[in-house]
Amino acid sequence: MTTENVSLHSFCKDHDLSKTSVRRWLIDQGFSTSDGLSTEAITAATAQFCPQAEPEPPAGAMTIHAGNHCTTIDLPNYQGMTVDLAQFRDSEALIIDDPMAVAAQFLQTADLIQGALGADIAAREQRLQRTKQAQQAVAAKAQELSLEQRLYKLQTGQLDQQQTEETTALADALAQLQSLGKPAAEPAAPGA
């Protein structure tokens, strides 16, 4: 069975008490007043602010009167009084309304940043490994290509030399054949 909390306002109104005094006392005792007063808070506040009247002595019991040797004065009524605590201060403080919420946000953000830093390092290490692999593959191929170019230069030099020798021999043979005959008549120039 769930009992519904009583509002601080209702409790104080029903018992003709100062809401501020009751609230402050309850908070000092560790009770929360933000969602109304729990049964425990009502019991504690009642015991503090509404003491029980002393029971009447049983009939026939002896009664002793202390006499009237004191004069009672009327005490001022402080209920409903407003006191501004600023009058007792000569300084101001910077505050954060909910420092634990700010701390939680900071920690969450710091965790995200740390995660991003770790992920970035991992990505950079992976990129470095791929770059090393690419560099090794390119260097090996560049060395192979350099050797291939030298071999090509050597082979083409030999082939060009042989080609030149063969072409020269062919030209000489053609020239011999041509030397046996007469040169052909030159064709007439157009329009002549």
Q: Model confidence over 9-19: pLDDT tens digits?
A: 888 888 888 88
Cα atoms in the 13 Å half-sphere on the side-chain side of 76: 3
pTM, rounded to two decimals: 0.37
In this structure, is residue 11 part of a structural domain? yes
What's the mean pLDDT in 35-51? 86
What per-residue confidence (pLDDT) applies to 53?
A: 59
In this structure, is residue 157 part of a structural domain? no
What's the mean pLDDT in 153-166? 94
In this structure, is residue 93 part of a structural domain? no
Contact 102, 96 (CB under 8 A): yes
The token pair at 102 is: 């700010």
Position 3 pLDDT exceeds 90: no
In this structure, is residue 25 part of a structural domain? yes
What per-residue confidence (pLDDT) applies to 33?
A: 83
The helix or strand, by DSSP H or E, that contains position 59, with its residue range, turns out to be none
Query: Which band of pLDDT confidence, cut at 50, 70 and 90, is reported for residue 158?
Result: very high
Helices (H) and strands (E) in the chain — how many of each? 4, 0
In this structure, is residue 84 part of a structural domain? no
Q: For the chain, what is the domain count? A: 1
Range of the domain at 16: 1-50
In this structure, is residue 36 part of a structural domain? yes
What per-residue confidence (pLDDT) applies to 87?
A: 80
Query: Which band of pLDDT confidence, cut at 50, 70 and 90, is reported for residue 154?
Result: very high
CA distance 59 to 9: 40
In this structure, is residue 179 part of a structural domain? no
Neighbours of 8 (CB within 10 A): 20
Query: Which band of pLDDT confidence, cut at 50, 70 and 90, is reported for residue 155?
Result: very high
CA distance 137 to 130: 11
Q: Which of 47-56, 75-84, 100-109, 176-185 has the highest mean pLDDT?
A: 100-109
In this structure, is residue 183 part of a structural domain? no
Q: Which of 6-20, 63-77, 90-104, 158-172 has the highest mean pLDDT?
A: 158-172
- In one letter, which amino acid is 167? T
